[in-house]
Amino acid sequence: MARRLGALLLLTAATVAASAIRASAHPHVWVEATAEIIFRDGKVEGVRHAWTFDDMYSAFVTQGVGKNPAAPSEDELKPIAKSNMESLAEFEYFTVMKAEGAKTDFAPPVDYSMSQDSKKLVTLKFTLPLKTPAKLDGTFKFQVFDPNYFVALTLEKESAVKLIGAPAGCAHKMIAPETLSEADIKTLEESAASGLPPGVDFGMKMAGYLVINCR
């Protein structure tokens, strides 16, 4: 059950979830993301993610879970959350953090859960700690994206990110992605026509990023 329902990153699962209305298109899964950047003693310790999935994926991932018409409980959805965590590990949880240009490494996620709301949308929550807390003397960069662009994560506004426990003088700003070149647009069109991914790291081109400055 967990293997079948938790395959967030597998093309087969994503295609089944979206094929009814989005066949042969990229991305296959849409996610509205929020994040809390966690500080302690002036250092970044990690990030708390909350990802709300589109209606098609939400329906797919909860199929056969819980007792109709009641929504599945968090306990019933826990194996799916766990399977997603295991799958996301290969892709570093779609999360990039850089302190002064140096990429940070993550420890295994903690406090993960999945729930379904009144609109039948599922939300995956998890905390992603850094292996070593990052001292922030200058600029810190934060991005969330799927390199292969199977999953489109939307993190567009400053309000989608909160700084928790940040020192006085820290501010953050969301930087919008650059306009795609003609070559990139052609690549995306060809991807939509063929159903094949547009290429490694194409998702990064489609994603904005957050910059945190502490003075």
Q: What is the pLDDT of residue 128?
A: 96
Q: How far apart are CA 14 and CA 194, in angstroms?
A: 16
Contact 144, 154 (CB under 8 A): no
| 3-state secondary structure (DSSP) of residue 96 | strand
Q: Where are the domains of the chain?
A: 2-214
Percent of the chain at pLDDT > 70 equals 72
Tens digit of each residue's pLDDT (9 = 90 or more) over 93-111: 999 998 877 889 999 999 9
State residue 2's pLDDT score: 35
Using the structure block, give the residue that is written with the tokens 């506004």: 157
Distance, CA of 81 to CA of 76 (rounded, Å): 10
Task: Give the per-residue pLDDT at 3.
Answer: 35
> Which residues make beta-bridge pairs with 47?
37, 128
Q: Is the pLDDT of residue 208 over 60?
A: yes
The pLDDT score that the predictor gives to residue 199 is 61
User: Which residues in 5-81 belong to E strands, given as ranges?
Assistant: 29-40, 43-53
Range with the largest mean pLDDT of 132-136, 160-164, 186-190: 160-164
Output Rg (C-alpha) for the chain, integer angstroms: 18
pLDDT at 136: 75
Closest among 196, 160, 23, 50 to 115, alpha carbons compared: 50
Residue with tokens 């949308």: 121
Residue 15's pLDDT is 36
Query: How high is the pLDDT of residue 202?
Result: 64
**Which are the contacts of 67, defined by CB distance < 8 A and separation ≥ 6?**
none
Per-residue pLDDT of 11-70, as tens digits, reads 333 333 333 333 334 567 889 999 999 999 988 999 999 999 999 999 888 888 877 667
CA distance from start to end of the chain: 49
Report the C-alpha gap between 153 and 32 in whole angstroms: 6
pLDDT at position 47? 96
Between 129 and 147, the higher pLDDT residue: 129
Residue 91: the pLDDT is 87
Q: Mark out the alpha helices in 62-181 (DSSP H runs).
A: 74-88
- Dihedral sign, Cα of residue 178, residue 183, residue 186, residue 190: negative
Q: Closest Cα to residue 15, out of 27, 3, 31, 28?
A: 28
pLDDT value for 176: 77
pTM of the model: 0.80
| SS3 assignment, position 18 | helix
